Homo-oligomer: A and B are copies of this chain.
């Protein structure tokens, strides 16, 4: 699956960025991370798993972006829409792209302000020592926050992006429909995790970048631990939560399954979860705020303070959070998760998760509709 969209899509993204750059007086934007560089160039590769080489893209105030990248990536970059590709033989101890980046920034930005994503969720994917050398070398130009431009652009998805997420959701749905093949009492959660990833691949995932889950008679405790070799037990509720990708876009939702007859408290919690995610979906529309969705779900599931969903796209989680403190206003094209949790007992909860897209008039599910009753295996 290629990462490319039509060149018009990338041109539109860059044009939007440049309009906002003009409003904020930015002479350029400098990008160093995978999703940001892919958003602008379409450059899709699993090679980012290797930390050995830094990669840079510079968006000028006008004109097409410039890729300043290791030579190993130049052929793939050249297959996309970017024509100005400046490559060096990396890794190159002592000057790993620094002088090439400095030269590029100087020519593009002069002595102006260069925006860089450096707010929430951002990372600096280059050695800090080299970043400081770049900063010193480009003076009087300065590197400043990008005023949230990149995060703002990425938050509102195009139809082509939404289609990829929906396809990822459908792949996950087909894998979830086959969980009965792999999960039964006596099998370990570790074996189920391995097999579920296999099912995702069989159903068409490009890769399975994330998998979490848990199991227990009244739910599960934390949902970020690796699976153990402890066997599933009759009466357990099993949860699998996957972030698989299709064409560089994630789905991120979970499904719960009862191994035999679930405890009454589990059934009751399950119905509250469904009620809560229904309420989140009903509250989701243009003009509503992230915190409004949180309130709608929190009033039903009764957790206190926890995050009940987040933005979704090129990353497993990105952008807004469904928390009390996030007042981001929803717009058509935003894709997010609804992720209510209900405590069943001390240290045991259930979590349900759906993926939705904000439409002109409300919202619709991207993940296949969950069963109203807790499915039994």
Contact = CB atoms under 8 A, between A and B. Distances in A.
A224 B44 contact: no
A172 interface: no
Interface in A50-109: 50-52, 72-73, 75-76, 79, 89, 91-94, 96
A194 B207 CA distance: 8
A52 B310 contact: yes
Interface residues on A, range: 35 or more
Interface in A242-278: 243
* Number of this chain's copies in the complex: 2
Interface string A125-168: 11111000000000000000100000000000000000000000
Contacts of A210: 46, 49-50
Nearest to A79: B225
Interface in A283-315: 305-307, 310, 315
Given A52-B310, A210-B49, A91 B75 contact: no
Interface stretch (A112-120, A360-368, A369-377): A112-120
A123 B120 contact: no
A224 B47 contact: yes
A122 B128 contact: yes
A330 interface: no
Contacts of A75: 221-222, 225
B1 A51 contact: no
Nearest to A227: B1
Most buried by B among A2, A206, A222, A305: A222
A126 B123 contact: yes
Contacts of A221: 75
A207 B212 contact: no
Contacts of A1: 190, 226
Contact of A226 (B206, B226, B316, B325): B206
A201 B207 contact: no
A226 B3 contact: yes
Nearest to A96: B120
Most buried by B among A197, A225, A316, A318: A225
A94 B212 CA distance: 28
A208 interface: yes
B125 A129 contact: no
Contacts of A3: 226
A359 interface: no
B123 A129 contact: no
A323 interface: yes
Contacts of A50: 210, 315-317
A204 B193 CA distance: 11
Contacts of A52: 120-121, 310, 317-318, 321
Interface of A: 1-3, 44-47, 49-52, 72-73, 75-76, 79, 89, 91-94, 96, 116, 118-129, 145, 190, 193-195, 197-198, 201-202, 204-212, 221-222, 224-226, 228, 243, 305-307, 310, 315-318, 321, 323, 325-326
Closest 6 CB pairs of A and B: A118-B128, A124-B124, A47-B224, A50-B317, A75-B222, A49-B210
Given A45-B224, A72-B222, A94-B325, 8 more contacts: A1-B190, A49-B243, A79-B225, A92-B325, A93-B120, A122-B127, A197-B207, A198-B201
